[in-house]
Structure 1
């Protein structure tokens, strides 16, 4: 089964053009499922054959995951991984019957995205003011994440060739390797220009060819990586806001919600965020409704009584 899993992962990479993050998630889920099957009494620790897997086997595994306290969103992802794998096996002739064909993905909890208030965003940017090259870069990272709504992966992959200061825009590589153009606002543009003027000061012992074409750099001088950006963002958000989530994605949520609150067309927001379907963007309309409700309660004399 593990050899077929490897073939499936190569299929995702080569034919489906899936992201590295997606492939790692599939690999983790399928290896976990394979381990579960090997530990079943009928397999006696031996590697199972995909053709011998039944729908009951899958349901027992999902029951164990639920019993271990995994969130419904995590279980839903694992169900999707197993369904995709067995669909691949069936189409490629590795199995005669698809045991995951009628498997239902658990409904996920609908959680509204957390956002940071505009006044707190302003405070955060003031805190990020500094004259050293690393402080200038931190400010640019915050301004770009909030000012454009790009994903963390899109920021870390950003190259110098993707920046067009003359047109005030950047080119980003989104999910599925889809490119899109994102405009830069005044603050993001100014901050990015300043960073590019001081960027080479960040070169270090780990600066290689890839780092020299990257927009942002980590302390060792190599291309910036996700964990470093997460630490930077968290360190600033926790000083200005009480939101429980303090990640780069919160700035993306804030970008979309503030645009919607200001009257921007949701279809334009969809394009800016790089969403394939409008349904992915519509969650921000719920956040905006909550914002309207709060204003109503505060302002209307008969709203609370």
Structure 2
């Protein structure tokens, strides 16, 4: 089974052009299942035969995940990984029957995206000390997250060649390597321009050709990595907002929600966010409805029962 998993991961990378993040997620899910099978069949991982796996084995694994308290969303992702893997294995002739064919994906608990207020955003920008190259970069990172709604992976993947400062726009490489062009607001444009003027002062011992091309750098001069960008957001959002989550995704959610609240068409927001389906964007309409309900309850004299 381990050999087939390796082939499947290569297939995702080469033929499906999946992102490194997607491949890592699938690999973790499949190796987690393989580990369960080694205990279930009392065999070493390289001795597990793919043909041994049946629907009961998969159901036992899912039951075990549920007992461990794993969230429904995490279980749903693991089910999707397994279904995709066995579909591939069946289509390539590695198995005669697909044990995951009728596997039902558990419904995810619906949670509204966490957002912060425009006032908190402004305070967050104001507390950044832009007297240093590091501070200028931090301000540019925050402005870009909020001004464009781009994902964390898209921000750290930005190259200088993706910027068109003359037209005040950036080209983003999103999921499935799909490109989209996003305009820059004046504040994001100015912050990005200020950062690029002092970017060379952030070069360090690990600055290489990739770092020279990158828009943002980590502390040692290499291309900025995910955790470094997350720490920037956590640092400054913690100073000004009470939102429970303090991550780049909060700024992405806030971007979409604030755009919608101010009259932007949801189809335009979909293009900004790089969603392939409108259904993924519609969760922000629920956020706005909740806001309207709160305003109504506080403002209308007959909203509350006596």
TM above 0.5, one fold? yes
Quote the residue 2:99 is aligned against. 99
Q: Take 1:89 and 1:213, find their aligned partners in 2: how far apart are those partners?
A: 39
Q: Take 1:99 and 1:30, find their aligned partners in 2: how far apart are those partners?
A: 15
Give unpaired runs (5+ residues) of structure 2.
none
Quote the residue 1:78 is aligned against. 78
Q: Take 2:139 and 2:260, find their aligned partners in 1: how far apart are those partners?
A: 24
Q: Take 2:120 and 2:297, find their aligned partners in 1: how far apart are those partners?
A: 22
Deviations 1:1-36 (A, max 9, x none): 000000000000111111101100111111111111
Q: Take 2:32 and 2:8, find their aligned partners in 1: how far apart are those partners?
A: 15
Q: Take 1:26 and 1:199, find their aligned partners in 2: how far apart are those partners?
A: 36
Quote the residue 1:4 is aligned against. 4
Deviations 1:241-288 (A, max 9, x none): 111110000000000000000010000000000000000000000001
Residue 198 of structure 2: SS of its match in structure 1? helix
Q: Take 1:38 and 1:191, find their aligned partners in 2: how far apart are those partners?
A: 53
Aligned residue pairs: how many?
Answer: 304
TM-score normalised by length of structure 2 = 0.98
Quote the residue 2:34 is aligned against. 34
Verify: 1:122 aligned to 2:142, yes or no. Answer: no
Quote the residue 1:196 is aligned against. 196
Q: Take 1:128 and 1:178, find their aligned partners in 2: how far apart are those partners?
A: 33
Cα distance, 1:43 vs structure 2: 4.2
Quote the residue 1:51 is aligned against. 51
Q: Take 2:132 and 2:145, find their aligned partners in 1: how far apart are those partners?
A: 20
TM-score normalised by length of structure 1 = 0.98
Deviations 1:32-62 (A, max 9, x none): 111111112x444462211111000000001
Q: Take 1:204 and 1:273, find their aligned partners in 2: how far apart are those partners?
A: 33
Give unpaired runs (5+ residues) of structure 1.
none
Deviations 1:114-153 (A, max 9, x none): 1010110110010114210000100000000000000000
Deviations 1:68-127 (A, max 9, x none): 111111111111111000000000000000000000000000000010101101100101
What is the RMSD of the two structures over their aligned residues, measured on CA atoms? 0.9
Q: Take 1:238 and 1:190, find their aligned partners in 2: how far apart are those partners?
A: 24
Quote the residue 2:137 is aligned against. 137
Residue 39 of structure 1: SS of its match in structure 2? helix
Quote the residue 1:182 is aligned against. 182
Q: Take 2:279 and 2:69, find their aligned partners in 1: how far apart are those partners?
A: 29
Verify: 1:233 aligned to 2:204, yes or no. Answer: no
Deviations 1:200-227 (A, max 9, x none): 1111111100000100111101100100
Residues 7 and 122 (structure 1), Cα distance of their counterparts in 2 relative to 1, 3 Å cut: same
Q: Take 2:50 and 2:128, find their aligned partners in 1: how far apart are those partners?
A: 54
- For 1:143-292, list aligned pairs within 5 A: 143-292=143-292
Residue 158 of structure 1: SS of its match in structure 2? coil
Cα distance, 1:290 vs structure 2: 0.6
Residue 103 of structure 1: SS of its match in structure 2? coil
Q: Take 2:15 and 2:42, find their aligned partners in 1: how far apart are those partners?
A: 32
Which consecutive segments of 4 or more residues in structure 1 shift more than 3 A? 42-46
Deviations 1:170-202 (A, max 9, x none): 001000011110100011001101111111111
Q: Take 1:128 and 1:260, find their aligned partners in 2: how far apart are those partners?
A: 27
